[in-house]
């Protein structure tokens, strides 16, 4: 329906779907070593874009968030327990705070897979692997995401791996 580049880090794509329109917000977030002021500005812009999207749309945030999400029990309603990391880094805490403030969940930490299917980034030397690409969705539509996993063998000429999201819209029977 609409593609809208916001700045060099954020763009939106509105898709007409069967039951609800979907707004995909694609982002590469600043790295953990970036200055705090730049991170603050990025998250302010992300909040403005998220709040500016149509309220009746399903809103998903996808991308390289450079956020290691841990398994902290206090964040369990937002993050699940299937992360490869035990503790969240600074970017992970920022992302969790954003998700809590906007009533979202970090979907890829909810699905139990082998460790190799959870890793989304690999270092060039092939020793270090992380789960830093994240998928966030409105809590209301969280159960519409059926699965998220890394696609092994897909070559996208990057140090990031292709992440596949299985999504199926549904309405609750009341």
For the chain, 174 residues long, the average pLDDT of each consecutive 10-residue run is 89 90 91 89 93 88 87 83 81 90 87 76 76 85 84 69 82 63
Rounded to two decimals, the pTM is 0.85
Q: Which pLDDT score, from 0 to 100, does residue 154 have?
A: 64
Q: Which pLDDT score, from 0 to 100, does residue 102 have?
A: 93
Write down the domain spans for the chain: 2-167
The CATH homologous superfamily for domain 2-167 is Endonuclease/exonuclease/phosphatase (3.60.10.10)
Q: Given 3-state DSSP classes, what are the helix, strand and coil percentages for the chain, each rounded to the nearest 5? A: 30, 30, 45
């Amino acid at each position: 329906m609409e593609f809208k580049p916001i700045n060099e880090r954020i763009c939106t794509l509105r898709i007409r779907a069967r039951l609800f329109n979907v707004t995909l917000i694609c982002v590469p977030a600043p790295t953990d070593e970036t200055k705090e002021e730049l991170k603050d500005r990025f998250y302010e812009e992300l909040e403005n874009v998220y709040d500016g999207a149509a309220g009746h749309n399903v809103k998903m945030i996808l991308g390289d968030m450079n956020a290691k999400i841990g398994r902290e029990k206090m964040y369990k309603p937002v993050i699940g327990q299937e992360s490869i990391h035990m503790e969240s880094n600074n970017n992970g805490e920022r992302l969790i705070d954003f998700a809590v403030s906007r009533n979202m969940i970090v979907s890829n930490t909810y699905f139990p897979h082998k460790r190799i299917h959870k890793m989304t980034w690999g270092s060039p030397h092939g020793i270090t692997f992380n789960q830093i690409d994240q998928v966030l969705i409105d809590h209301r539509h969280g159960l519409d995401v059926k699965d998220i996993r890394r696609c092994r063998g897909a070559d996208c000429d990057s140090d990031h791996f292709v992440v596949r999201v299985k999504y199926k819209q549904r309405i609750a029977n009341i």
